[in-house]
Structure 1
């Protein structure tokens, strides 16, 4: 088998509440990503984005990784991993430093971002991301890239995403028990936004709602920068549970019924259309109106969308997302989801699928692969940043430390 390092491969691992999805991509000479392997397995041991049975999660991850490696004919040793759950929190902070030598350098940018992130944080919290929003130099505001500009003092605003340290450690432990290394842990909705959004949408203002099995992950952009992130502990599994209880069918069958026949809006379903519903305990299957199924699903889907809408209104950015809403994740595929979301949010809505990838792109042309493909995009950018600013050079490190002290004190 070929080795990942020889082919410049990168792996995204999305451990969701319903499914584990692993995608391996090769970074081509032109910088594009070519999908070379995909693996998925039913997720067991996860609930609302958190681990509740470590051994079951390990088995699910191994199965997905083995399938992916077999397709790609490779063996990988590290992954970029997603994380979600209601423990994920965000805050916006600012930092200020004097500009050394009257011209902004990369060191100055690093220093001001460090100042922005230097806020007291409880010991039980883990820092996931510090995302620059914009820079101000003296009286000039709203600067995207300050390097090379002249000034005396620079301030920066940054969006900080944190998670519960114990929750992150449990996820990492699952990966390590599969003999893998975690390159980086990335918030799920952030990864999804890398895969499904265009630059125009980010500039105009857009909200991504990644509707998974156990959570709805939200990320909001305005003026090209992230302003708000949130996680809602509701998702498609609640719909599956309603189907199982009301129609008295096993959970596995309820999930299949949801995937194959569910519609978010009952008005879109004919009264005459019928489906077969398996029974429990060996009883014979029953015929059921698909319209009745939609009547069961609509209130729950409405609840999910309403809570997401309340989160958007609470952010204070509702009037700034002119590009509307992009829904992604497995539950976004349901028939009528776009029409229902447009009705609830009163804004344009589209389903987000991964784009800008080559190779086996048809395997990931699905909203449920948004996070996994986004992890590849994030990993490629992270790799480029490391190449652009190597940290192994002793002289460079000394210079950065000296510059940090000058900027901080």
Structure 2
């Protein structure tokens, strides 16, 4: 067995959990850290039941990079402690979601000669291993390795080549990576909170997993994970990840614009945005007077007011710029005429009133605001775009890892988070039996 195969089997992958076991997820965002604790159930009952959740302001992270180890460690401890208190359970390991502009995608290709014989599972695994090896870089950590398309004798778009006959078999694979040093620093902070990292995943990919339905992934869709410090852009075609990019713009930039525009503190600006912010407003709403405390001559907050229309004039340009950057990113994705015409919005910054309409206008796409698909299991408090990433860590496991019947037919591997069930699980079992 190759060292790569051994890493795929024995590396940092979450164990398959039987019904009744406790699972914890941790979403490290720029503005908040969210933790969910669930107990697994039978897939027919939804896959999990929520036991507890915790959410804390994020400290120690900037642009997805650790700038204060102790600050991030404390934020993690507090979020997990809140969830443990509610759940009445202590956890020792977490499934981790990481976001930030340092996360990139790389497309790699590989092929093997078949000499006209039938394509077996062994051939597919050999091909995927070769593609992974071609994308190895000691300075980059591979979080996901997702086959986008198989190529049989020059014909691409094949979803599952097993059982077919071919002279040549190829694959196009998307790797989601981040700097290895950045990854190690984040894991260090989690371990200092006395937690083991079961798996590490891209926050944008996990958000998409939580909010997209299979028909959208199959027909083609753009998913925007609009967080506080960054916006994750993922594109799905034919049921697979086709493109991912992370932009260094998010809800924090809107908050900063408000703070500078009206002369107030960042916490006060965040509160104004949350309570009264909007991207677009009616004429009646624009005339409404709202509280907007400002920093006085003595450096303290003093009571003040402003019209909601003036607040919209501060917020709208930044959101327009955000969607224009997204449009430019999509135009450079290399997908050309295959770029989907539907966009799904999630993440805390997507909850500003009017965001969906502005996205539809600038991107020229049909848009919807999404919450996690498994909303019934998450309850009212957690079935919101804010918790989409943390929920995606659960959805991903149960639809592709925890429930073989729900696994997609495309043979997919994930270098950091595949359970030993589903189609990749079968491949792992085959490797164990044959080496």
The normalised TM-score by structure 1 is 0.90
1:399 and 2:434 are equivalent in the alignment = yes
Counterpart CA distance in 1 for 2:292 and 2:208 is: 37
> Residue by residue, what CA displacement relative to the aligned partner does 1:218-274 show, whole Å, maximum 9, x if unpaired?
110112221111011111111111111121211111101111111112556633201
1:102 match: secondary structure: coil
Q: Is the 8 A contact 1:172 1:182 kept in 2?
A: yes
Counterpart CA distance in 1 for 2:79 and 2:177 is: 27
Counterpart CA distance in 2 for 1:26 and 1:100 is: 49
Stretch deviating more after TM superposition (239-248 or 278-287): 278-287
2:361 match: secondary structure: helix
Stretch deviating more after TM superposition (37-46 or 328-337): 37-46
Cα separation, partners in 2 of 1:248 and 1:93, compared to 1, 3 Å: same
TM-superposed CA distance for 1:147, in Å, is: 2.9
2:52 match: secondary structure: strand
1:114 and 2:129 are equivalent in the alignment = yes
Aligned CA RMSD, in angstroms, stands at 2.4
Q: Hey, what does 2:363 align to over in structure 1? A: 345
Structure 1: gaps of 5 or more residues: 401-409
Q: Hey, what does 1:404 align to over in structure 2? A: none
Q: Hey, what does 1:198 align to over in structure 2? A: 213
Q: Is the 8 A contact 2:28 2:99 kept in 1?
A: no
Q: Is the 8 A contact 2:291 2:304 kept in 1?
A: yes
Q: Is the 8 A contact 1:264 1:337 kept in 2?
A: yes
Cα separation, partners in 2 of 1:318 and 1:272, compared to 1, 3 Å: farther
Counterpart CA distance in 1 for 2:169 and 2:140 is: 28
Structure 2: gaps of 5 or more residues: 1-16, 404-418
1:213 match: secondary structure: coil
Stretch deviating more after TM superposition (295-304 or 71-80): 71-80
The normalised TM-score by structure 2 is 0.85
Q: Hey, what does 1:306 align to over in structure 2? A: 324
Counterpart CA distance in 2 for 1:272 and 1:292 is: 9
Cα separation, partners in 2 of 1:164 and 1:397, compared to 1, 3 Å: same
Counterpart CA distance in 2 for 1:293 and 1:396 is: 60
Q: Is the 8 A contact 2:38 2:52 kept in 1?
A: yes
Q: 1:386 aligned to 420, 423, 431, which one?
A: 420
Q: 1:272 aligned to 272, 284, 287, which one?
A: 287
Stretch deviating more after TM superposition (215-224 or 143-152): 143-152
Q: Hey, what does 1:325 align to over in structure 2? A: 343
Counterpart CA distance in 2 for 1:268 and 1:341 is: 20
1:24 and 2:37 are equivalent in the alignment = yes
Q: Hey, what does 1:157 align to over in structure 2? A: 172
Cα separation, partners in 2 of 1:318 and 1:76, compared to 1, 3 Å: farther
Q: Hey, what does 1:218 align to over in structure 2? A: 233
Q: Is the 8 A contact 1:269 1:291 kept in 2?
A: no
Stretch deviating more after TM superposition (267-276 or 84-93): 267-276
Q: Hey, what does 2:21 align to over in structure 1? A: 8
